[in-house]
Amino acid sequence: MNELYGDETVLAYWGVQFPVWNSAYESNTSAVVLHEWSADCNGDGIVDYGQILQGQLVDADANGVPDVCEIDPCPGDITNGGTVDATDLSIVLAAWGTNGQGEFQADIDNSGLVDGGDLALVLSGWGPCPQ
């Protein structure tokens, strides 16, 4: 953090003065202000949105967040109950061999078929979901 210019997340430009990165600029109607956006959910040191625009990261749902950063930490929890348990297992078994569409999405691995891959996700995640 620069003591003179704050946390340097805002570019403020006043008239003929030079532009300054500054988060603590004075309110001025003639100022042009740009805010720095630095979301980096995957921790690679590069702004995620730029990587999406350049095609380096996939954002299939176009929500501005790379798909790699939206991985479900508890995919076997089909009911979203906070734990992978017999209810989740029974949903997978009841939907076995189908596309898994219904009240709950049983095709956990999105392969198009409820099968051994989905069963493996339920069994490997058995117990409480990570916080």
Q: By residue range, what is the domain housing residue 100?
A: 83-125
CA 60/CA 110 separation, integer angstroms: 14
In a domain, 49, yes or no: no
Q: Where are the beta strands (DSSP E) in 70-130?
A: 83-84, 127-128
Please state the domain count of the chain: 1
CA–CA distances in Å: residue 81 to residues 13, 72, 106: 50, 14, 14
Per-residue pLDDT of the chain (131 residues), as tens digits, is 344 444 444 455 555 555 554 444 455 545 555 545 568 887 788 888 888 888 998 888 888 888 888 878 899 999 999 999 999 999 999 999 999 998 899 999 889 999 999 999 999 999 999 87
Task: Examine residue 66 and state whether it is found in any structural domain, yes or no.
Answer: no
The pTM (predicted TM-score) of the whole model is 0.52
For the chain, give the longest Cα–Cα distance. Answer: 70
Is 103 inside any structural domain? Answer: yes
Let me know if residue 72 belongs to a domain. Answer: no
